[in-house]
Amino acid sequence: GENVEQHPSTLSVQEGDSAVIKCTYSDSASNYFPWYKQELGKRPQLIIDIRSNVGEKKDQRIAVTLNKTAKHFSLHITETQPEDSAVYFCAASSNSGYALNFGKGTSLLVTP
């Protein structure tokens, strides 16, 4: 089955700096890669996703890049703000019903 590795497990940045979280996956059939943000006590919320036919996608301060050959994808957050502090999860799916395999999560702390 699919195995998703996520690094780092914790990340602390100064407000205004950039944050990068990286994930690798094992199943070459995976073709859908979402990123979720989970604040304490809340459900995961999709922040950005990418499909395998695209190498990069951007939405304001958030971008995701995908390298299918190397089987890795990354989340980039620019101009970080304290409200970006949360746990971020990457996931991968082979599109067969959208069952997701999640990485272990990255706890991001943005300090003022």
Partner 1 sequence: SAVISQKPSRDICQRGTSLTIQCQVDSQVTMMFWYRQQPGQSLTLIATANQGSEATYESGFVIDKFPISRPNLTFSTLTVSNMSPEDSSIYLCSVDVAGDTEAFFGQGTRLTVV
Stretch that binds partner 1, among 20-28, 61-69, 78-86, 91-99 (CB under 8 A): 91-99
Alpha carbons 50 and 33: distance in angstroms, whole number: 5
How far apart are CB 51 and partner 1 at their closest, in Å? 7
Residues 70-89 contacting partner 1, CB under 8 A: 89
Angle CA(99)–CA(39)–CA(24) in degrees, nearest 5? Answer: 45
How far apart are CB 25 and partner 1 at their closest, in Å? 14
Least Cα distance to 101 among 73, 78, 59 occurs for 73
Q: Applying CB under 8 A, what is the total number of residues that bind partner 1?
A: 20
